[in-house]
């Protein structure tokens, strides 16, 4: 019933288009630029844009909101704790959001920004729109929140069902996996995924969605309890980190990635 398609924007952003194939209503997520969405709507005139979902306030996620709203009268749904242009429905943690004839759940996942929201759909094939919080094989930078907040946010997302598909906003998977391979050199699943992603990117194909089962095996930011990871991060920092202190491990890991 719901169909997701990436519309490319800028260098490496994806604006996810969500279509309800029964009603011909659609929504877009994080339109940093209106142009790709307006182009799609012009080419697909039977479709009505009813909603614009925003995960956080950064310009590359919100830059197209005003133009799209003028064109379509779509409703803008965004995080209550952030300043979102033309926001019609400000959502809080755990709030149910009705759109496209179904229900999504807003999850407050601070870290990248203070009020970042992820949108979860618990239907027959569950998925989460994770914005700049959980990336394929990585996570967002800490611009406003603390490492502890981001760690908790990622743990919360990781508790969704294993087969939940992950739709994030950037094509960062290849560079994320190169880092993952440096952090856990003997993790065969990371090597396997890296090879798959190299092939996809050679053909300029997108690497999404991911799913939570794959992320738990290959995303270093969900693997702060891996002995090899803790040992590699410790030797990189030249400081002994304790596996029992995952937030310290996460903090060091995030700092290493920032300079990788």
Write the interaction track for Zn ion spanning residues 116-135; mark x where CB under 5 A is met and - where it is not.
----------------x---
Residue with Cβ nearer Fe ion (131 or 220): 131
Instruction: Kindly state the smallest distance separating residue 42's Cβ from Zn ion, in Å.
Output: 28
Question: Alpha-carbon distance 155 to 174, whole Å?
Answer: 22
C-alpha span between 100 and 97 (Å, rounded): 10
C-alpha 253, offset from chain centre: 19
Q: Which is nearer to Zn ion, 132 or 184 (CB)?
A: 132
Q: Which residue has the tokens 């012009």?
A: 42
Does 75 bind Zn ion (CB under 5 A)? Our answer is no
How many residues touch Zn ion under the rule CB under 5 A: the total is 2
Q: Applying CB under 5 A, which part among 42-50, 53-61, 93-101, 171-179 lies near Fe ion?
A: 53-61
Q: Which residues participate in catalysis according to the annotation?
A: 56, 58, 60-61, 112, 132, 170
Nearer to Fe ion, 50 or 133 (CB): 133
Task: Return the closest-CA partner of residue 249 out of 257, 182, 218.
Answer: 257
Query: In this chain, which of 132, 171, 184, 215 binds Fe ion, going by CB under 5 A?
Result: 132
Go through the chain and tell me how many residues it has.
260
**Residue 107 to residue 126: CA distance in whole angstroms:** 14
| The Cα angle at residue 209 between residues 207 and 252, in degrees rounded to 5 | 80
List the structure tokens of 221: 């930011």
* Contacting residues toward Fe ion, per CB under 5 A: 60, 132
Instruction: List contacts with Zn ion (CB under 5 A).
Output: 58, 132
């Amino acid at each position: 019933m719901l169909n997701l398609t990436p519309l490319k924007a800028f260098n490496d952003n994806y604006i996810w288009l969500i279509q309800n194939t029964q009603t011909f209503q659609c929504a877009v997520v994080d339109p940093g630029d209106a142009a790709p969405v307006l182009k799609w709507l012009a080419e697909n005139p039977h479709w009505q844009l009813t909603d614009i979902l925003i995960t956080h306030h950064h310009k590359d996620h919100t830059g197209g909101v005003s133009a799209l709203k003028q064109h379509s009268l779509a409703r803008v749904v965004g995080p209550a704790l952030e300043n979102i242009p033309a926001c019609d429905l400000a959502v809080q943690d755990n709030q149910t959001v009705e759109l496209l004839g179904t229900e999504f759940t807003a999850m407050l996942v601070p870290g990248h920004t203070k009020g970042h929201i992820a949108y979860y759909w618990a239907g027959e094939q569950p998925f989460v729109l994770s914005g700049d919080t959980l990336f394929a094989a990585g996570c967002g930078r800490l611009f406003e929140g603390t490492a502890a907040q981001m760690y908790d946010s990622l743990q919360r997302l990781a508790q969704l069902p294993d087969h939940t598909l992950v739709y994030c906003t950037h094509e960062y998977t290849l560079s994320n996996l190169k880092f993952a391979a440096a952090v856990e050199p003997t993790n065969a699943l990371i090597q396997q995924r890296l090879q798959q992603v190299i092939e996809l990117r050679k053909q300029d194909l997108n690497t999404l969605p991911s799913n939570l089962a794959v992320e738990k095996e290959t995303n270093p930011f969900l693997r702060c309890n891996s002995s090899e990871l803790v040992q590699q991060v410790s030797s990189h920092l030249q400081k002994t980190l304790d596996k029992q202190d995952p937030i310290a491990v996460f903090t060091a890991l995030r700092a290493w990635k920032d300079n990788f």
